Amino acid sequence: MSTAVATASPTRAIAPRHAGWAGVTLGVAAWFITLPPALVRTPVPSILIGLLAITAGAWAINGGEKRLGWGAIAAGVVGALGAVASTKSGVSNLKDVVTWSALIAATLRYATPLVFGALGGIVSERSGVVNVGIEGMMLTGAFFGIFGADLLDSWFLGLLVGMAAGGVLALLHALCQLSHNLFALLAGALLFQRIHHVVFNRFERLRRRRLVLLHAQHNIMIGRQLHYFAVVMLFENFIAECGGAEFFIRE
């Protein structure tokens, strides 16, 4: 008759994942307390908190959470160094630079188009299409949105025009890539390159010309003509580039 002794692995008091996230939080807090509105003027508390973050990261690494653990260690080091730099700076400089409302507003303002582009890229990748012309499609939507709002005198109709323009450009990209077997990278590069050139270079010259003629008698009519001229150039350049890319078309 044999007996077996079951040995259970010792359980940790703190889960490695929780320790890693706690280390990241401590690293952020180490720097945050030296910024407005707290403005702790000595780096000693931040250094101690940074050491706690590093310890939590080491605990997470020992428990198998290597990526999160190294992130906690990096957060602790960066937080401590940032706190030392903040304490060396003047209070007035920190109050002028670190304005949380402005920083959050700028983050939302600049991150929104990046998030939209990333979402479009994810959808394209999930469908099996490599789309590197997303930025060109977004520029086209923005351009035609302003154009439609100015022409139709309605921001809502301008929004619809911008959405339709982006959809039309996506359709052109699909035709070049799927129907004519154009390489995905080439089709997307043509979209971005030509639209960026037309919208930001040529139309900028037209805008300057319009400013020079701002006090002319028919300035509104001239502005509308410049809009139409830019639209014609936009599609003319894209069609010309697609037509001249026959060398890159797959058999």
Give the best-scoring range by mean pLDDT among 79-83, 147-151, 232-236. Answer: 79-83
Structural domain includes residue 168: yes
Structural domain includes residue 3: no
Structural domain includes residue 109: no
Residues above pLDDT 90, as percent of the chain? 30
Is residue 221 over pLDDT 90? Answer: no
DSSP state of 35: S
- Is residue 106 within 8 A of residue 68, CB to CB? The reply is no
Say yes or no: 87 and 140 in one domain.
no
Q: pLDDT: is 145 or 56 the higher one?
A: 56
The pLDDT of residue 135 is: 77
Give the pTM.
0.55
- What's the CA gap between 186 and 223, in Å, rounded? 34
Is residue 245 over pLDDT 50? Answer: no
Two structure tokens written together for 199: 């919208």
- Stated as kind and residue range, the H or E segment containing 186 is helix 184-197
Closest CA to 195 of 136, 125, 127: 136
Structural domain includes residue 1: no
Residue 139 confidence class, pLDDT cut points 50, 70, 90: confident
Say yes or no: 89 and 133 in one domain.
no
Q: pLDDT: is 33 or 97 the higher one?
A: 33
Enclosing domain of residue 224: 129-248
Structural domain includes residue 4: no
Structural domain includes residue 179: yes
Say yes or no: 189 and 231 in one domain.
yes
Is residue 239 over pLDDT 50? Answer: no
Say yes or no: 85 and 187 in one domain.
no
Average pLDDT over residues 45-59: 95
Say yes or no: 234 and 149 in one domain.
yes
Residue 180 confidence class, pLDDT cut points 50, 70, 90: low
Give the best-scoring range by mean pLDDT among 12-21, 27-36, 88-97. Answer: 27-36
Mean pLDDT across the chain: 76
Say yes or no: 24 and 94 in one domain.
yes
Is residue 59 over pLDDT 80? Answer: yes
Q: pLDDT: is 78 or 99 the higher one?
A: 78
The pLDDT of residue 97 is: 83
Domain count, the chain: 2
Say yes or no: 141 and 244 in one domain.
yes
- What's the CA gap between 190 and 184, in Å, rounded? 10
Helices (H), 89-99: 91-97
Two structure tokens written together for 249: 């078309």
